[in-house]
Amino acid sequence: MRIRFTKMQGAGNDFVVLDETTQRLQLTPAHYRFLADRHFGVGADQILTVRPAPQPDVDFEYVIHNADGGEVEQCGNGSRCFVRFVREQGLTDKTTVRVKVHGGVITLQEMPDGQVTVDMGAPVFDLPQVPFAAAHATAVNDTTWQLALSNGDAVNVGVVSMGNPHAVQVVADVDTAPVLAQGPLIENYTAFPKRVNAGFMQVLSRNAVRLRVFERGSGETLACGTGACAAVVTGIRWGLLDPRVTVQTHGGTLTIEWHGGDTPVRMTGPATTVFQGEITIPDTL
Catalytic amino acids?
75, 224
The Cα 126–Cα 136 span in angstroms is 16
Peptide bond into 131 cis (omega under 30): yes
The Cα 30–Cα 284 span in angstroms is 10
CB 259 within 8 A of CB 243: yes
Question: Quick one: how far is CA 203 from the chain centroid?
Answer: 20
Q: What 3-state DSSP class applies to 46?
A: strand
The Cα 95–Cα 108 span in angstroms is 8
The Cα 27–Cα 30 span in angstroms is 8
How far apart, in Å, do the first and last CA atoms of the chain sit? 11
H or E, element range at 189: none
- H helix runs in 158-224, sequence order: 179-187
Going by C-alpha positions, the residue among 147, 144, 217 that lies closest to residue 189 is: 147
